[in-house]
Chains A and B, each alone.
Chain A
Amino acid sequence: MLKSDHQPHLATGVAASTHATSVKGAVAARRVRADDVPQVFALDERVTGVAKPDYWQDIFERYGKHRLNERFFLVAESVETEIRPRILGFIIGELRAWEFGSEPCGWVFALSVDPRTRLLGVGQALFDAISVEFKNAGVAKMRTMVARDNRLHLMFFRSEGMMAGPYIQLEKEFD
């Protein structure tokens, strides 16, 4: 479930590749590195108010180091060297196939942008970067899931051209 709080915006798109850094405008998106994890953890804690160091270490192990042809943990960093912290946001997604009867597609399950760095094109740069990764991996569709009351995320993804899909999320509480 997406947790971050950021504003949708017109932005510069960048493409992240496995090795090189693509730069356009003030923000560059690239693959996460081990030394990014403390900043990713700090950003998530700042946005969500919940510290999850073990979770983020596990996420980095799974999405930052293994099966990199189908898992994408991208970070956005400022190209302005004097700006700190360096990591302005991140997006995480992966290829999933045949779940719920769906053909292979890209799923975005985490997106976070530092609220202090809005209007720099961070969200769109990350979205564009992971879109390129998904396309290069051979899928034709990307999906995500957003809480009904998370209007900022809903507005952002809608502004990027995402529409409601053919699935309905159902749930049940146990007594």
Chain B
Amino acid sequence: MKLQVSSRLAVFALLALAADPERQLSVAEICDKYGISGHHLAKVMHMLGRAGLVQSVRGARGGYQFSGNARRMTLLDVIQLFEKLGSGHNRLEAGDRTNEGRALREIVDEIDDIVCATLGSITIGTMLKLVSRRRAPPAGAPSPPPHKYR
């Protein structure tokens, strides 16, 4: 499956903030870490703020601070702010009222339900553990250039 860019940016931003909940990060700092567009991320941060997952901090050293519960917030909670997931959101399409359409719908719904179950079982806290298990490359090894998301 492919996540929308907004969903990916949201997960990246939350991972950066939840890694140190006491610390504030600006949009620019998060963009630098992931090599992403500030304009798009600003919109994503606004959405996360409205959902109560991050808190905007004003002032000269302002930015955003993680305000959720990393041990309870799941990837599904985050991604569903930006895109519809799950078999219940699938609209009827041409052929769906036929037996073939219903059989295909059953398979696609099964896949959608597995996607939701997987994303709903992984918390931000668990993601941070997964991240920490991935060791940084040894000193001197070249790092791949960051991708720019527009």
Do A155 and B118 touch across chains, with their CB atoms under 8 A apart? no
Q: Of residues 137 to 164 in A, which have CB atoms within 8 Å of B's CB atoms?
A: 148-149, 151, 154-155, 158-159, 161, 164
Instruction: Give A146's nearest chain B residue, CB to CB.
Output: B121
- Chain A interface size band reads 10 to 19
> Is the pair A164, B123 in contact by a Cβ cutoff of 8 Å?
no
Binary per-residue interface labels of chain A (157-175) against chain B in the complex, 1 for a CB within 8 Å, 0 otherwise: 0110100100000000000
B63 to chain A, nearest CB (A): 27
Judge if A96 is at the interface, Cβ distance under 8 Å.
no
Instruction: Give chain A's interface secondary structure class.
Output: loop
Contacts of B123 in A (CB 8 A): 8, 155, 158-159
- Give the residues in chain A near B125, CB-CB below 8 Å: 159
In the docked arrangement, what's the CA distance between A161 and B121, Å?
12
A86 within 8 A of B: no
CA of A9 to CA of B129, assembled, Å: 13
B103 within 8 A of A: no
- CB contacts (< 8 Å) of A151 on chain B: these are 74, 117, 120-121
Tell me which residues from 85 to 119 in chain B have a Cβ below 8 Å from any Cβ of chain A. Answer: 113-114, 117-118
B55 interface hit (Cβ, 8 Å): no
Which residue of B is nearest A149, CB measured? B117
Question: Which of A9, A10, A158 contacts B121 (CB under 8 A)?
Answer: A158
What are 8 A-B residue pairs whose CB atoms fall within 8 Å in the complex? A148-B113, A151-B74, A154-B117, A154-B120, A155-B74, A158-B121, A159-B71, A159-B129
